[in-house]
Structure 1
Amino acid sequence: MNRWLFDLGNTRLKCAPLREDGSVGEVLALPHRIEDAAAAMDAALPRRFDVAYLASVASPELTTTVLDALTRRCSLISRARTQPRFGSMTIAYAQPEKLGVDRFLALVALHARGGPALSCGIGTALTIDLLAGDGHHLGGRIAPSPALMREALHARAAQLPVEGGQYREFAADTEDALASGCDGAAVALIGRSLAEAARLLGEPPPLHLHGGGGERLLAALPEARWSPGLVLEGLARWALESSAC
């Protein structure tokens, strides 16, 4: 059976084949503006496959565009939703639908790897979630990502550039100061979360960074592990469980 995984975020569409052994194949990252999402999918994906598994946190309009493109090439589409429990993992939210499915699937993947973990996704938003070793989600945080901070500053003060600059502890020009301030805010929040996680669990959990903006912060977080395919990995687990039901 030819099956594909789709992670539709606010910044990009990531997709990969689901291999027969349950692992994730080569990941493709596609542009996903409403006006060009379908064309990008047509150029990159097989003309036909059997099943599509979709996780989306994008707008309803963009999600519909992607669903329409998938409908033209496969006979079954299964859309992942956040669940209060997945196997032995339980989430902290009393209203599961309020926890983004990308955060849920990242937790699914980390629980499958075993042990406690601190998940940090950096896309449009910066999300942090703490998972105990027994599978209990202990809650999390949401903040603007460094990229969104830059965009917000530029929107209110056009003279402040939306890109550029290097992280420095004390910057000597505007571009570096913006990069240092916005990246530094993210690093500080992650560091505070990691310290609090260590207090709650008795030891620091592994820190996993994922999302389009995560790699930029690795130099400032030497303890972090780069896990860019975490959401697709969790979606693969969800897909296999769904198929078994």
Structure 2
Amino acid sequence: MTQDWLFDFGNTRLKCAPLGADGGVGDVRAFAPSEIDSLPSGGVAYLASVAGEDARVRLLDALTGRFRRIAIARTTATFDGLRIAYANPRKLGVDRFLAMIGARDAWPALVVGVGTGLTIDLVDAGGLHRGGRIAPSPTLMREMLHARATQLAPIGGTYAEFANDTEDALVSGCDGAAVALIERSATEATRLLGSAPTLLLHGGGADALHAHLPDARVRSTLVLEGLARWAHMEAAA
């Protein structure tokens, strides 16, 4: 039987995984946008993309030659028990939408994506999205600082609460800002819901922040998990 695949295309990398017969996510592969000639082939390509238009078109061209059909996931007002807070569903990134769906087994949940941006979304036990936040991720903060002041290194350093070296101060400040925003969101979510939601981290920068958020759980494939649920329902429609 021809294999169907899941594709999560972000601003900096492409992740893909085979869609399991049970609707789960198989082994994940990661590609740089320049490596699309190495993509797998199969039956249906289920795609979630927040990449820029030019990059998305290049990926679609590559997938068209490798797959029988391409199904593109889009944000909708309701799906699989989730009801989003946005009045205009098109304004909510499909990665955030799918991550909340992927977290269905953990609702109520505070879903934190750490990629190019830092996204935070709260879903209550009944599947109601209570809204969220968007900020630069620690990686983007470092890159933005370096772009304005080239003497500030975009990478490197060791986290410390009070650093005594510039590189250490940079990583401590940028990671610390993200951690503080997540902790503030968790506190406010607990106040709003009356109990603490499950804190879930996903995305390429999740592991670095997890060291400072011991109560969090890392679910690195959360978007692909949500896409797998979306694919299962799309195939059954």
Q: Provide the rounded CA distance (Å) in 1 between the counterparts of 2:118 and 2:47.
A: 21
- Kindly state the Cα deviation for residue 75 of structure 1 after the two structures are TM-superposed: 1.3
SS at match of 1:215: helix
Instruction: With the length of structure 1 as denominator, give the TM-score of the two structures.
Output: 0.95
- Matched to 1:242, the amino acid is E
- Matched to 1:122, the amino acid is V
Q: Provide the rounded CA distance (Å) in 2 between the counterparts of 1:131 and 1:53.
A: 24
Residue number in structure 1 paired with 2:32 = 31
Q: Provide the rounded CA distance (Å) in 2 between the counterparts of 1:14 and 1:147.
A: 19
- Kindly state the Cα deviation for residue 88 of structure 1 after the two structures are TM-superposed: 1.8
Instruction: With the length of structure 2 as denominator, give the TM-score of the two structures.
Output: 0.98
Conserved? CA contact 2:142–2:174, under 8 Å: yes
- Which of 66, 74, 86 is the aligned partner of 1:81? 74
Conserved? CA contact 2:106–2:198, under 8 Å: no
Moved over 6 A (4+): none
Residues 81-121 of structure 1 deviation map (CA, whole Å, 9 limit, x = unaligned): 0010002210000000000000000011112x143000000
Residues 41-88 of structure 1 deviation map (CA, whole Å, 9 limit, x = unaligned): 2xxx2xx41100000000010011111110001110000000100022
SS at match of 1:209: strand
Q: Provide the rounded CA distance (Å) in 2 between the counterparts of 1:207 and 1:114.
A: 9
Structure 1: stretches of 5+ with no match in the other structure: none
Residues 100-143 of structure 1 deviation map (CA, whole Å, 9 limit, x = unaligned): 000000011112x1430000000000000000000000000000
Conserved? CA contact 1:37–1:65, under 8 Å: no
Residue number in structure 1 paired with 2:61 = 68
Q: Does 1:167 align with 2:165?
A: no
Residue number in structure 2 paired with 1:13 = 14
- Kindly state the Cα deviation for residue 39 of structure 1 after the two structures are TM-superposed: 2.4
- Kindly state the Cα deviation for residue 38 of structure 1 after the two structures are TM-superposed: 2.5
Structure 2: stretches of 5+ with no match in the other structure: none
Conserved? CA contact 1:31–1:40, under 8 Å: no
- Matched to 2:57, the amino acid is T
Residue number in structure 1 paired with 2:38 = 40
SS at match of 2:126: coil
Q: Provide the rounded CA distance (Å) in 1 between the counterparts of 2:38 and 2:157.
A: 31
- Which of 213, 222, 236 is the aligned partner of 2:205? 213
- Which of 62, 78, 83 is the aligned partner of 1:90? 83
Q: Provide the rounded CA distance (Å) in 2 between the counterparts of 1:115 and 1:146.
A: 26
Question: Percent identity of the aligned residues?
Answer: 59
Residues 178-199 of structure 1 deviation map (CA, whole Å, 9 limit, x = unaligned): 0000000000000000000000
- Matched to 1:67, the amino acid is L
Conserved? CA contact 2:48–2:94, under 8 Å: yes
Count of residues paired in the alignment: 236
Conserved? CA contact 2:200–2:217, under 8 Å: yes
